Amino acid sequence: MDKIVFPLSNGVGLYQNNKLCVSMIDSDGNKKVYGKNIKPHKKFFNLPVIRGFTYFFKGIYLYTQSYIFQYQFDEKEDKNKTAKDANKLNFASGYILLITSFIIAFLFGSIVLGFLPSYLFNYAFPSYTNYYFRSFIIALIRVAIFYIILLILRFLPFMSGLYSFNGAGNGFMSGKADTIKSRTYPLNFLNFLTNIFIFSLFMVSLIAVNINFVANFFINLAIFLVCVPVIYEILRFITYSRYMWFKDISLITNFLICIKPNITHEEVLMTAKIESENFENFEKTDKDRISMSALYAEVQTKLKTSERFEQSDIDWLIATVLNKNRAEVKLIRSVSGKEYRDIMRACERRAKGEPLSNIFGFVEFYGLHFDVNKKVLSPRMETEILVEEAIKKIKENDIRTVLDLCTGSGAIAVTIAKYTDCKVYGSDISKPALAVAQGNAEKNNVKVDFILSDLFKGLKKNKKYDIIISNPPYIKSGDIEKLDIEVKKYDPRIALDGGEDGLDFYRQIVEEAPRHLSKKGWLFFEVGQGQATAVQELMQENNFDNIQIIKDYNKIERIVYGRTCK
């Protein structure tokens, strides 16, 4: 019983990590979240048979707590309405309505599930007196009527919220929110209760005890309690079975209490999940503020829908708008309406494919802050590996000078200058790019000599460097139009186009680099996917040895470096 979802009329309760977290939508359409810590039960309660009772009774307790939280939310909303609206239903009339509802439900159940099945049997079989046959048929009639009642409820508008949130819970519990199979999670708590009542109704009707009122009550209660662990173990077996047709069986009842959720239902549940996973204690969110969990869930949903989802994007986006670092953001419980709107505007731009670096005009790289614009390529996370490998080599050897070819924003050159004692040079063919690079050097308090040069053409002929490092353009010319809009639209083409096979710059650099490297100098490259072997062969053909290939975070061969033989 690691986690359970309890659907409510306008929200969900989520039990997870020994916390009950209730997430709801208020009258203004905002998501509110609150909860409490729950004392964990002992391992004894996880034993077979016992665990069925644990799931039932603890689930009933947590479900009740969820509805109490919902009532408290609604009560708080009512206090903000006009006095005229608040007085429409006072405390006493509320109790009268509740008692009346129970009486009506009891009478309806007694007639429909008690008197009606017997009447129908006697009407269909007026002269049939076999006790067991009569009990069996009446049991079937009662189950059929109960099923029909649930089926009718499923299509009533006021039940749609409850069943849609239950559908979201099925997707969350099954881990298959985007598939039809998510609607068949057997151990869904509402499905568990439905199966218990159907099965116990059948068994009570089949056994048909008729001693006296007190004896009948306790015997029927005992039958009900026996059904609890039996149903739990059956549903548990179906849930964890590797045979999908077992799970399809549960559609017989799951269909009754589940409706396909929309994005809002899933976001509300995700809000509860994020809250329970990130905060130890709970705080009620003020009416004019939006909880961080709700904001996080909404941003995550929007980016996933647009297929732009990366966990780091969400953290950076929110932290940047709030002018906080990522660690500080984790301590923030809610945001103002203005902060929410600013974050969602940035999220909309990101969802359309605009890089975060363009949205905010800067990017973090190797712990440093770099301004970027459409004139330069935004440094990627993979390039940090290139810099890291170069810094390792600098510290291992007597490296004094470094040249960064195709420096762009200056991220590589500035970072090496910041973390080593080397004399660093950066060259680029683009004047606007060099202006950006120079600004980044000044902002990070380092000295880098930037040179306007088409690769080696503008450099001093007799100048030697211990390391030449480059992340040159390496996209095939014919593939540029196939690139994601994030790259194709927002990165300068001059920083992307590597020629027909993507290797034009590597050929030229490898051929000319030995004349500009000191004895036993090193040449470092970042390469595109599938290019490492070709670049390695180019280096071997031009008298480089000790050639190494390093993989990036996605296990793609991304870095190639080697040393001149002379």
Rounded-to-integer distance, Cα 490 and Cα 358, Å = 8
pLDDT class of 179 with cuts at 50, 70, 90? very low
C-alpha 559/C-alpha 538 separation (Å) is 14
Decide if 499 is inside a domain: yes
Asked if residue 430 is part of any domain, the answer here is yes
Cα angle vertex 370, ends 367, 372, to 5°?
145
DSSP 89: S
Q: What is the mean pLDDT of residues 65-93?
A: 58
d(CA 449, CA 437): 10
Per-range mean pLDDT, top range of 25-34, 169-178, 309-318, 414-423: 414-423
Same domain, 342 and 470: no
**CATH classification at residue 556:** 3.40.50.150
Task: Judge whether 484 lies within some domain.
Answer: yes
Helix segments in 208-336, DSSP class H: 213-240, 244-249, 251-254, 263-278, 292-305, 311-321, 326-329
Residues 177 and 43 in one domain: yes
Least confident of 63-77, 288-302, 433-447, 515-529: 63-77
Q: Which residues constitute the domain of residue 308? A: 285-352
The residues near 391 (Cβ < 8 Å, ≥ 6 apart) are 416, 419, 420
For the whole model, what pTM was predicted?
0.70
Q: Do 246 and 306 share a domain, yes or no? A: no
**Would 34 be classed as within a structural domain?**
yes
**Which of 120-134, 202-216, 382-396 is predicted least confidently?**
120-134
Q: If you average pLDDT over every residue of the chain, what do you get?
A: 82
Q: At what angle do helices 337-351 and 292-305 cross, to 10 degrees?
A: 20
Q: Are residues 548 and 485 in the same domain?
A: yes
- The whole-angstrom separation of Cα 547 and Cα 536 is 7
Read off the pLDDT of residues 301-356 as tens digits, 9 standing for 90 and up.
888 887 766 777 788 888 889 988 777 887 888 888 899 999 999 998 888 888 88
Confidence of residue 393 (pLDDT cuts 50, 70, 90): very high
SS3 358: helix
Q: Identify the band that residue 170 occupies on the pLDDT scale cut at 50, 70 and 90.
A: confident
- pLDDT for residue 342: 92
State residue 353's pLDDT score: 80
367: helix, strand or coil: coil
Question: How many separate domains does the chain show?
Answer: 3
Best CA proximity match to 273, nearest among 285, 260, 291, 286: 291
| 547 assigned to some structural domain | yes
Residues 153 and 215 in one domain: yes
Length of the chain equals 566
Strands 423-428 and 401-405: parallel
Q: pLDDT, tens digit, for every residue of 397-431?
A: 888 999 999 898 999 999 999 999 999 999 998 89
pLDDT tens-place string over residues 426-444: 999 889 999 999 999 999 9
Domain membership of residue 267 (yes or no) is no
Least confidently predicted of 194-198, 349-353, 512-516: 349-353
Residues 519 and 418 in one domain: yes
Is 266 a member of any domain? no
- Give CA–CA dist 102/110, Å, rounded: 12
Q: What is the pLDDT of residue 94?
A: 44
Confidence of residue 62 (pLDDT cuts 50, 70, 90): very high
What single-letter amino acid sits at 205?
Answer: S
Residues 542 and 446 placed together within one structural domain of the fold? yes
Contact yes or no for 383/368 (Cβ under 8 A): no
Does residue 358 belong to any structural domain of this protein?
Answer: no
Tell me 475's DSSP state. Answer: B
